[in-house]
Amino acid sequence: MRKYQNKSMQKLSAELTAGLARLRKKYIDAAEELFRIIDPAQEYPFDFVLFRVTGYGGGAADGGEDKLTGQSLRQDLLLLMLDICDSTELRVSDYDEGACDTAELAKRQKVSTKTIQRWRKAGLPARRLIFPDGKRRIAFLESSVLWFTQTRPAQIDRSARFTQMSDQERDQILRWARRLVAVKHSCLSDVSKELAARTGRAVETIRYTIRRHDQDHPHQAIFAQLSGALTDGDKQSIYRAFLTGAPVPTLAKKFQRTRGSIYRVVNEMRAQQLLDRPIDYIHNPQFDLPGADAAVLADEIRSDPPSNRPTVAAPAAGDLPPYLRSLYGVPLLGRDEERDLFRRYNYLKHKADRLRRSIDPNRIHTRDLQEVERLLLQANSIKNRVIRSNLRLVVSIAKKHAGGAQTLFELISDGNVSLMRAVEKFDYARGNRFSTYASWAIMRNFARSVPKEQIQRDHFATGNEEALDIAASLQMYESQEIKVSELRESIDAVLTHLTATERTILVGHFGLDEKHDTKTLEQLAGRLSLSKERVRQIEIRALEKLRTVLYSRKSELMS
């Protein structure tokens, strides 16, 4: 359905296209008759329009407007004719008079097809009919063309003047165009405007004359570059210049292109970057359900009640620079708030990725590019909010590793990268808190980046303190006991608290080594010369030991 200017006309179109097929030709012809008598400066009641088109008044459509302006009504009547044509199998042979398509009419009137399109916008009534070749095309009845040419003689004359241009005048225009390019380095658009002002011709006429000359005489072309394809390097240069603020007219002049072609290059490069850019997200089946937009995006982000929100003690004032201490003023995320943020974050990226995949590089629509970029921008804003709420986590963990070759600020920078990666990989649907996942991700990164001798020194100096501090900090975010699945993921960070036998059993059973090979309790029993039941008991004892270690103290991480 096309876009109508009056809602009542849109409703009328919906009812007439769904009505009796045998009456639709009558509605089309009546709409054109009404169109011819409408005065753009007057207003008309909808009941009058309804009666003139259908032959009866009231009941067919609920007229949303008491009065319709003549200008908007004329445009809606032309749309109504096309909509009704599209709803039925109306053929050229159904009319007693002749009809021609756009190309044939342009040839008869000795104008271009673009001129015919301008005539349609000016009020030339058109239908969409099935021609003898079986194809449906825009058609113009003889009576419609005659009425239009008789009511607008001046416009028809101006349109036909291009064919009356003499060879001398055409040569003069080309000489002036060549001179402007040589002296002023003007682009085609500027040349066309200046010569149009000199000659009194339309800008489009001047542009068409120059482009036709360059196509017919490529070795003498005034704008030779216009007929050649831009290289990938040229496109990259145009795009980079555009991003740095270079005006489109300047780029058009520099590359001897039209402004429209510059915009097409920019959109092409934008689309290519979006298509090449990976959009990673954690998919959830909810995203594919009907009404997912309303379920995920319609409501505001939920905030936890004050009684359920995490609280922390104020950090020590003297051991951190002011800008790091300011991180502790950013409120922590509650459980519901955090879940809603991650659900919205991943859904926005899901929508962006789905829309991006539907973009056709050969038919790029700016609105699609803008929508993908808007969705990614919204997702990035949510990501920044999550990161800011967890930056203090990085600082607290980094403080436990500071003192070696790497400074506190280097560790914080390294930990921030781990935090950002954790946001990308966290699956909110598993029910765990992001702080749990992020803490172990940061710890594992520090375990790789901090020299081994520093790790060993910290272990001997602090004993269980490091693991206790980091693990206990998670109670600030959640009170539920840590799950075995979480222990499997992060057990490598606290293996030093277990005996050699306990480490061997947990690493082997849960595949925590570099090869990720898992072994059964029976295989481990044979390797350790123990019974299967004894291996099971040791595993249970090791897991209980870890739980005791991790939850034996209150959080000191955020202090």
Taking CA 396 as the corner, what is the angle to CA 391 and CA 400, rounded to the nearest 5 degrees? Answer: 145
In this prediction, residue 550 has a pLDDT band, given cuts at 50, 70 and 90, of low
Question: Model's pTM, two decimal places?
Answer: 0.47
Alpha helices in 244-365 (DSSP H): 248-254, 259-276, 292-297, 322-325, 335-357
Q: Within 10 Å of residue 113's Cβ, how many Cβ atoms?
A: 13
Q: What is the pLDDT of residue 405?
A: 52
Using one digit for the tens of pLDDT, what is the confidence trace for 271-283?
888 888 888 889 9
Q: What is the pLDDT of residue 450?
A: 63
The tokens describing 110, both together, are: 């000795």
Q: What is the pLDDT of residue 101?
A: 94
Average pLDDT over residues 89-103: 93
Please report, for the chain, the start and end positions of each structural domain, with discontinuous segments joined by +: 7-159, 165-228, 229-276, 279-450, 463-559
Q: What is the pLDDT of residue 27?
A: 94
Pairing relationship of beta strands 99-100 and 127-130 according to DSSP bridges: unpaired
Instruction: Kindly report the average pLDDT of the chain as a whole number.
Output: 79
Alpha helices in 277-407 (DSSP H): 292-297, 322-325, 335-357, 366-401
**Rounded-to-5 percentages of helix, strand, coil across the chain:** 65, 5, 30
Q: What is the pLDDT of residue 383?
A: 92
Using one digit for the tens of pLDDT, what is the confidence trace for 469-523?
444 444 443 333 334 444 444 444 556 667 778 888 877 887 766 565 778 888 8
Among the listed residues 242, 241, 344, 362, the one whose alpha carbon sits nearest the alpha carbon of residue 302: 344
Neighbour-count burial of 278, counting CB atoms closer than 10 A to its CB (0-12 exposed, 13-18 middle, 19+ buried)? exposed
The tokens describing 94, both together, are: 């159904």
229-276 CATH pick, 1.10.10, 1.10.3470, 1.20.272, 2.40.128 = 1.10.10
Domain 279-450 class in CATH: mainly alpha
Who has greater pLDDT, 143 or 362? 143
In this prediction, residue 190 has a pLDDT band, given cuts at 50, 70 and 90, of confident
**Read out DSSP for 87-149?**
TTT-BGGGSSS-EE-HHHHHHHHTS-HHHHHHHHHHT---EEEE-TTS-EEEEEEHHHHHHHH
Q: What is the pLDDT of residue 144?
A: 95
Asked, colleague to colleague, whether 229-276 and 279-450 share their fold, the answer is: no
Among 108-122, 238-252, 375-389, 393-407, name the one with the lowest average pLDDT: 393-407
Average pLDDT over residues 202-226: 80
**What is the CATH architecture of 463-559?**
Orthogonal Bundle (1.10)
The helix (run of H) or strand (run of E) holding residue 69 is strand 67-69
Contacts of 264 (CB under 8 A, 6+ apart): 364
Average pLDDT over residues 427-435: 88
**Residue 344 above 90 pLDDT?**
yes
